[in-house]
């Protein structure tokens, strides 16, 4: 889109609209609010909080702590929480079987959080990697990640989460066809009101490391899979844009209510293209590595922390994101409410 003719200087002085805070506020194009945030958090089986070394300020929360966080989110005006599990190693196996346990950590946390703060939406990760002993998102056979058998396991996991009261299922596994399978299963189970926010364009990224620390998957296990240290056979190549649009289009066609781009800031161009192309709710995930970089820089005095947090989150909204999943949500909400 071309700009209309502009008056020449000095008739046009763009700095006139920047001279005071009140006028900057009046003409501001993008306004960030707590309602633009989804609070990303990790829960664990035990008691108390366990700090995550690679993510200063973030701790694994007990179920009781997650309940308190849900109540806090309601007070802060944060509309939703995305929860991820840290599973004890003794409960992990090659098939991620514990993901299907209706009495497992995530179902118990969801029920408790919804009981305490029913107004706060709860989003659950649909993926096997927190539950597998090899750390991959899918089932493995002869060195390959199996697509369709993995989907069967994901459907079982998702129904357990939905029946516990989860509001949004967020499949992050990147198996082909999983959104359609989830939507069909939800309809068949009478759970048609449960929403799906698909990790539609999830890239094989270097920025997930601290998250793997937080959920206890660490380095990907050697197992029987070729190239065990990465997920490049199922997560997207960071070089690709057109493929991202195809992934999003497929997930929308299969029944996704919302789509997500992950990671966030390194992929703002993807966020903008997805938002402009499909005109449906598009979310970004400010992932653990992005959080850790900001905390490291601010911890060393290289950046102003509060400004860096709000500027980074504002970038997602400016790019077209309907909201952002972030570990900074409670801090940002307090800053925005000040």
Q: Say if 10 falls within a structural domain.
A: no
Catalytic residue among 92, 114, 231, 262: 262
Catalytic residue among 202, 231, 295, 317: 202
160: helix, strand or coil: helix
> Which residue reads 């366990």 in tokens?
50
How far is residue 324's CA from residue 106's CA, in Å, rounded to a whole number? 22
pLDDT at 123: 98
Check which CATH number belongs to the domain holding 263 and give it.
3.20.20.70
Q: Say if 119 falls within a structural domain.
A: yes
Q: Crossing angle, helix 268-278 and helix 242-254, to 10 degrees?
A: 50
Q: Say if 174 falls within a structural domain.
A: yes
pLDDT per position as a tens digit, 288-315: 999 999 999 999 999 999 999 999 999 9
Q: Say if 113 falls within a structural domain.
A: yes
pLDDT at 224: 47
Total domain count for the chain?
A: 1
Q: Say if 13 falls within a structural domain.
A: no
pLDDT per position as a tens digit, 216-226: 886 665 444 44
Domain extent at residue 243: 34-337
Q: Say if 28 falls within a structural domain.
A: no
Active site (annotated) includes residue 75 = no
Q: Which residues of the chain have pLDDT under 50?
A: 222-227
Contacts of 156 (CB under 8 A, 6+ apart): 99, 100
β-pair type (121-126, 168-171) = parallel
Contact 36, 329 (CB under 8 A): no
Active site (annotated) includes residue 219 = no
Contact 186, 254 (CB under 8 A): no
Q: Say if 97 falls within a structural domain.
A: yes
Q: Say if 16 falls within a structural domain.
A: no
Q: What is the pTM of this model?
A: 0.95
């Amino acid at each position: 889109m071309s700009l209309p003719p502009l008056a020449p200087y000095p008739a046009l002085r763009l700095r006139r609209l920047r001279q005071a805070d009140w006028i900057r506020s009046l003409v501001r194009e993008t306004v960030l609010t707590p309602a633009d945030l989804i609070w990303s958090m990790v829960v664990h089986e035990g008691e108390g909080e366990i700090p995550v070394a690679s993510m200063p300020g973030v701790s694994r929360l007990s179920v009781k702590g997650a309940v308190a966080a849900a109540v806090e989110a309601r007070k802060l005006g944060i509309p939703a929480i995305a929860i991820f599990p840290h599973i004890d190693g003794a409960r992990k196996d090659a098939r991620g079987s514990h993901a299907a346990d209706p009495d497992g950590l995530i179902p118990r946390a969801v029920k408790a959080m919804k009981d305490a703060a029913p107004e706060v939406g709860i989003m659950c990760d649909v993926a096997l990697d927190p539950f597998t002993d090899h750390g991959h998102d899918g089932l493995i056979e002869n060195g390959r990640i199996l697509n369709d058998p993995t989907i069967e396991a994901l459907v079982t996991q998702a129904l357990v989460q939905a029946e516990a009261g989860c509001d949004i299922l967020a499949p992050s596994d990147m198996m082909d066809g999983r959104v359609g399978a989830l939507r069909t299963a939800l309809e068949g189970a009478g759970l048609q009101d449960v929403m799906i926010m698909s990790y539609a364009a999830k890239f094989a990224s270097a920025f997930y490391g601290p998250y793997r620390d937080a959920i206890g998957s660490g380095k990907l296990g050697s197992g029987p899979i070729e190239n065990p240290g990465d997920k490049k056979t199922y997560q997207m190549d960071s070089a690709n844009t057109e493929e991202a649009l195809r992934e999003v289009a497929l997930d929308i066609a299969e029944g996704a209510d919302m789509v997500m781009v992950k990671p966030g800031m390194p992929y703002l161009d993807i966020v903008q293209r997805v938002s402009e192309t499909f005109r449906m709710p598009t979310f970004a995930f400010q992932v653990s590595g992005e959080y850790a970089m900001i905390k490291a820089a601010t911890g060393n005095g290289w950046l102003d922390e509060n400004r860096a947090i709000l500027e980074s989150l504002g970038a997602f909204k400016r790019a077209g994101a309907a909201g952002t999943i972030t570990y900074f949500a409670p801090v940002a909400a307090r800053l925005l409410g000040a």
